[in-house]
Amino acid sequence: MIIGDDSNLMEYKMQYVLIAFAVLLFIALTFFVISHFEKSRLTCPVYQVSDPRVPEAFTGKRIVFLSDLHSCTFGSENQKLYEAIDNAKPDLVLIGGDMMVVKSWSQKDFAVTRDLLAFLNGRYPVYYAPGNHEQRMKEKPDEYPEWFTTFRELLTEFDVPYLENETLALKLDSEGNIRPADEAEEDDMILLSGLALDMHYYKKLLLHRKARFSAEDLQKLLPKVDDKKHFHIVLAHNPLYVPVYAASYASLFLCGHMHGGCVRLPLIGATISPQLELFPRYAKGYKMASDTHVIVSAGLGTHSINLRVNNPPELVIIDLKRN
């Protein structure tokens, strides 16, 4: 009798295990099917950034912000992406890093990045700041021989400034086009910076503690963040340090890196980032942090965590306004 009861109990347990496995398998397959279609559904959210430091001349100027393409394409030869950029009619295109994939398992392939820069060349003023993939090939030349050199040659070919802990001034010319300015031209100019963090700040958070990054560290890398007068845009790929960014006097930080949190669930939001941060706070969208505007792009592509659920790729559009 006891043997029979044990046998029945084992059967019931096995049934529950099989049911649980089937449910999990169904959920996983559902996520993969949704992600397959989601990854090609390009969206173009528009954010208006109103700030008293925006020069009157820059009111109405539009920025397209591209981040985390990771060599993905939209449509034949990336035409959907190019059409979305043209349809936005930007006055300035800012690239926030990770246009390619730089991993131990990836091939050296800058073709998609090259085609994008070729498309933008001559159409719009373009500025580029590094993400962790560009930083990785710079810091590890033995693992990625000649990768960074080839990448920099590509930027030079298409006359794209690469901002590594560098700040420059931008102004409008007589025709209303954005151009580099001499910082002596104080009136009606804005500042643009690119923050380059070394790979120490990109360690996987399930395996390592979050690296400390302070307001003093930011100020050493970008002294101009203490400028109180000018509207200052900072391309800062990693939004892990938004509270530090908000302690500066820079006006607008544009971030990426989080891929929107990969899988976004109702009531929960972002679940995991490529840096293996669980439930990342700053994964997507527009936020005010103190007096600082922060926009985090969900990015355009994927790589290792090749999933997007309730989280379509996005080309971010920013309209500036003096309030």
The count of domains in the chain is: 2
For 37-41, 181-185, 201-205, which range has the lowest pLDDT when averaged over its residues?
181-185
> Domain of 182: which CATH number?
3.60.21
Average pLDDT, the chain: 90
- Verify that 108 and 195 share a domain, yes or no: yes
Residues, the chain: 323
Q: Assign 284 a pLDDT band (cuts: 50, 70, 90).
A: very high
Q: How far is 312 from 303, CA to CA, in rounded Å? A: 14
Q: How far is 149 from 104, CA to CA, in rounded Å? A: 18
- Verify that 34 and 138 share a domain, yes or no: no
pTM of the predicted model as reported, rounded to 2 decimal places: 0.88
The pLDDT score that the predictor gives to residue 5 is 61
What do you get for the CA distance between the two ends of the chain, in Å?
82
- Verify that 22 and 70 share a domain, yes or no: no
- Verify that 31 and 173 share a domain, yes or no: no
Tokens representing 299?
């990015």
Q: Tell me the residue range of the domain where 29 lies.
A: 1-38
CA neighbours closer than 13 Å in the CB half-sphere of residue 195: 31
- Verify that 247 and 288 share a domain, yes or no: yes
Q: How far is 295 from 316, CA to CA, in rounded Å? A: 9
- Verify that 138 and 32 share a domain, yes or no: no
Q: Could you tell me if 315 and 41 are in contact, meaning their C-beta atoms sit under 8 angstroms apart?
A: no
Q: Is the pLDDT of residue 4 over 60?
A: no
The pLDDT score that the predictor gives to residue 22 is 62
Taking only the tens place, the pLDDT of each residue in 64-123 is 999 999 999 999 999 999 999 999 999 999 999 999 999 988 889 999 999 999 999 999
Taking only the tens place, the pLDDT of each residue in 32-76 is 666 566 778 899 999 999 999 999 999 999 999 999 999 999 999
- Verify that 193 and 215 share a domain, yes or no: yes
